[in-house]
Amino acid sequence: MTKPKAWHHVRAWQTNAALLLIGAGLLALAKQLVSEYDHYTIGNSGVSGYSVVLYLAACLIILTSETDRFTFPIIIAVAVACRLAVLYDEPALSSDVYRYAWDGVVQHAHINPYRYVPGDKALAFLREPNQDLFDHMNRRDYAHTIYPPAAQLLFYLITFINPTVTFMKTAMMLFEGLTMWALVALLKEMGLRREQALLYAWCPMLVWEIAASGHLDSAAMAFIALALLFRHWRRPVLTGLFLGLAVMTKLYPLVLLPALMMQKDPGSQRRDTGQPGAGAYFKGWDWRMPGMVFALVAAGYAAYSSVGIMVFGFLGGYAKEEGLETGARYFLLELVQQVPGLHSLSTAAFYGLCVAVFGGLTVWALKVAMEPAGSRFLWAALALAFALMLLFSPHYAWYIIWLVPFFVLTPSVTVLTYLMGFFYWYTTELAEPGPKMFLANKYLYAMVLGAAIIEAGLRKWPIYRPYLVPGTRVQPVFAKDTL
């Protein structure tokens, strides 16, 4: 006999009713974002601030309350509606998507996209039929394209169907669907409810950066999610394939390599077709995964190598613009340099710290990778990705959205604070390079530090036990077994 629910336990219909109300609010705010493009009402910071509040409420509800068969369709419907609300308007938050479509158009003219800057007279014949793309591109007169080979292949394929910004944004939304599929599959494998995918589907930052702005990071997230799924299934070749595609789309997923390593498992029947040949294993490690990653990297750059060193495009120029070489863009370095006696701390010393941090994380990730089964590798992957963002201190929200899939699979108050804090502060008047942005980062990193301390305490002394739905498991946000 089923024990009756206590009065304070939320029933499934109450969960659905609450989610419908919150979803309606998020949809209204998505429409308001488009309205803010034309005239000021509450400002971008107002839209982002209210969106964060509603998103946090939805996360709390879905992680702690009972659901039924209607909950997941509600989640999907709201997610799609919010994205469609911003899809058809011209991107106002970033113009990168115009370069994506332009690079595809250039390739259809049988020209290597790395060869010329868009403003070069050699491409003048492409301007008139694609004037909208050309007029809206940033750095069109001096910057060669920066996007890696897999990204260029995607641009080619997408513009083969339709060379417009709206269709490019639509394609990036479809990659979100692939990410959602992989996340739901992983949640099922981990014994968690598919409804936890709301943490991805309703994230307002994704609506802004993918549906509204069409950022390529959506494709990288899809490849990362698939790599995580196949790593959970212990399929090294497919893991390497999708991690390699992610690296050749946005480069930064390369830091995940140690967390996705696998050891030889002679006692189990491998799912990969064929048997590993001689040299596939060395000192117990299965090298087919990293081998596939580096093979894809080599093949990708070889395919565009007719331009020589220019195959790396504007990468060097971008590093200079963003202060990566001088260290001017690293918040933690700037913060330490304000300490008396440390004003002259060099960028090299900061890089040394980065090497030490990633060295330690790599050793830990490889130790976790030695485990024959389980999902602890997800925590190692999250640690590597999160450390990169904290040390790199990006200035644009699309650089951090790849943390969202990890947050779905391994909910963390610290990561949530970083994601939502970044999203909000970088829509305020403080999002201006210089002293204002330094102040925004001080607020952000202080919030993250405080959240980390609170979360560590809650993991050691849990004060909340989630309501368990019969036959399923709710992700224990503050329980020790999340680690």
User: For residue 322, what pLDDT band results from cuts at 50, 70 and 90?
Assistant: confident
Residue 340 is predicted with a pLDDT of 86
Span of 70-79, 98-107, 323-332, 357-366 with lowest mean pLDDT = 323-332
Instruction: Give 9-34 pLDDT, tens digit per residue.
Output: 668 999 999 999 999 999 999 999 99
For residues 108, 109, 110 and 111, what is the CA-based torsion angle, rounded to 10 degrees?
Answer: -110
Give Cα 230 to chain centroid, integer Å.
18
DSSP readout, 428-480?
STT-STTHHHHHHHHHHHHHHHHHHHHHHHHHHS----PPPPTTS----TTSG
Per-residue pLDDT at 272 exceeds 70: no
Task: Write out the two tokens for 272.
Answer: 């990969």
* Type of residue numbered 363: V
Mean pLDDT to the nearest integer, 313-342: 84
User: For residue 463, what pLDDT band results from cuts at 50, 70 and 90?
Assistant: low
Q: What is the mean pLDDT of the chain?
A: 89
Query: How big is the chain, counted in residues?
Result: 483
Mean pLDDT to the nearest integer, 88-92: 91
Name which residue leads in pLDDT, 366 or 373: 366
User: For residue 319, what pLDDT band results from cuts at 50, 70 and 90?
Assistant: confident
Residue corresponding to tokens 């990561």 = 415
Instruction: Give 375-421 pLDDT, tens digit per residue.
Output: 899 999 999 999 999 999 999 999 999 999 999 999 999 999 999 99
Q: Give burial (CB, 10 Å; 0-12/13-18/19+) of 475.
A: buried
Q: Judge whether 257 and 293 are in contact, CB under 8 Å.
A: yes
Residue 345 is predicted with a pLDDT of 87
Per-residue pLDDT at 476 exceeds 60: no
Span of 24-28, 339-343, 406-410, 442-446 with lowest mean pLDDT = 339-343
Beta bridge mates, 282: 285
Report the alpha-carbon distance of residue 59 to residue 119 in Å, rounded: 46
Per-residue pLDDT at 275 exceeds 80: no
Per-residue pLDDT at 357 exceeds 90: yes
Residue corresponding to tokens 């920066």 = 146
Residue 250 DSSP one-character state: H
Residue 282 is predicted with a pLDDT of 54
User: For residue 467, what pLDDT band results from cuts at 50, 70 and 90?
Assistant: very low
Share of the chain above pLDDT 70, in %: 90
Mean pLDDT to the nearest integer, 353-372: 93
Per-residue pLDDT at 154 exceeds 70: yes
User: Helix H segments across 198-330?
Assistant: 198-201, 204-206, 217-232, 236-250, 288-303, 315-321
Task: Write out the two tokens for 323.
Answer: 């202060």
DSSP readout, 158-181?
HHHH--SHHHHHHHHHHHHHHHHH
Instruction: Give 163-173 pLDDT, tens digit per residue.
Output: 999 999 999 99
Report the alpha-carbon distance of residue 145 to residue 126 in Å, rounded: 16
Residue 371 is predicted with a pLDDT of 83
Distances (CA, A) of 359 to 356, 415, 473: 5, 21, 35
Per-residue pLDDT at 332 exceeds 50: yes
Per-residue pLDDT at 278 exceeds 60: no
Residue 280 is predicted with a pLDDT of 55
DSSP readout, 8-74?
TSPPHHHHHHHHHHHHHHHHHHHHHHHHHHHS-SSHHHHHHHHHHHHHHHHHHHHHHS---TTHHHH
Name which residue leads in pLDDT, 276 or 445: 445
Residue 459 is predicted with a pLDDT of 82
Per-residue pLDDT at 472 exceeds 60: no
pTM, rounded to two decimals: 0.91
